[in-house]
Structure 1
Amino acid sequence: MRVEDPELFDRAYLLEDTINQRRARSGKDPVYLTRFNTPLRTLVDPGTQFLPLIDDIDSGCDSGWRMT
């Protein structure tokens, strides 16, 4: 999301920050929007280049099964 839609990514981490600021005022532990137990803004460094997924490459195989 950081690469494909940076504005939406910014909104997501601002939402996470807002939630955690309110939880901190109530004396509660922080929560995160990912399963990695780390803040969203620090999870992926800006400028990180991602490899294309296999699905993005036209392999000529529609069924997903390889005949050998």
Structure 2
Amino acid sequence: MQLEETINERRAALGRDPVYLSRYGRPLAEAITDPGKARGNDDTGDGSCDSGWCMT
């Protein structure tokens, strides 16, 4: 979260839009409500490869 905040502070100083380091299109502090459970059960198991752990 600190990295994302630092990046966005620098982007704001340059007049650029924020970027987010999650696939949810919002800040990590909002996207992941419990950092201890950051790897929750959002994997639907439908065969798509969104997690980056495909075929491992």
* Identity value in percent: 43
Contact 2:20 2:28 in 1 (8 A): yes
Displacement over 6 Å in runs of 4+: none
Q: State the distance in 2 between where 1:43 and 1:25 align.
A: 24
Change (3 A) 1:47 1:36: closer
Which SS does the other structure have where 1:30 is aligned? coil
Match of 2:11 in 1: 23
Structure 2 runs not aligned, ≥5 long: 44-56
Structure 2 letter corresponding to 1:45 = T
Task: Report the CA distance between 1:27 and its aligned residue.
Answer: 0.2
- For residues 3-29 of structure 1, give each alpha carbon's deviation from its aligned partner in whole angstroms, at most 9, with x where no partner exists: xxxxxxxxxx00000000000000000
Match of 2:30 among 29, 36, 42: 42
Q: State the distance in 1 between where 2:34 and 2:22 align.
A: 17
Q: What is the alpha-carbon root mean square deviation over aligned residues?
A: 2.4
